[in-house]
Amino acid sequence: MTDDVVTKAAAFAKAAHESIDQRRKFTNEPYIVHPQAVAQTVETVTDDAATLAAAWLHDVVEDTAVSIQEIESEFGEDIAALVADLTDVSQPCDGNRKQRKAIDRQHTADSDPRAKTVKLADVINNLSDIVRQDPGFAVNYLEEKELLLEVLCEGHPELFVRAQQVIAEAKHALVNSKP
């Protein structure tokens, strides 16, 4: 596997997210900036092409009409398995947000360590604006991410420490932003 698969994954993710005009919640930027940031974070700790491709593709199945089968057809079984590990499995009928997040956390706990590395990068990148943009939601979101970290210890140790730091900084900022 070469860098070609990473380039192909980046283009595939861009097309998939653009096909639904997906935008970032707080900035209204094209959504692809998020997978790009996740992939760049992952690239600081590994050059594994499958992991980097999965970083680009990590939200494609969850957010667009693309299926795991399409990912497997385009990128092979290994990358498809990583993307499946990174895709939430809970459904709205599974209960409230807390119950759904518990189901998704168990799915993540059972996933490949490479997927856990991508998930750590996802946590790091998603926390950047949440405290400033939506402090009310940030309280619950940070709780969810702390629980998620408990099952991500098999991910890359450097990203694990960074995720812990980002969560601690976000909690500190949240406490200091209260009147």
Tokens of 127: 């926390």
Active site (annotated) includes residue 63 = yes
Q: Which member of 62, 94, 158, 169 is catalytic?
A: 62
Active site (annotated) includes residue 62 = yes
In this structure, are residues 38 and 122 in contact, taking their beta carbons and an 8 Å threshold?
Answer: yes
Q: Which member of 43, 48, 63, 88 is catalytic?
A: 63
Active-site residue numbers?
A: 62-63
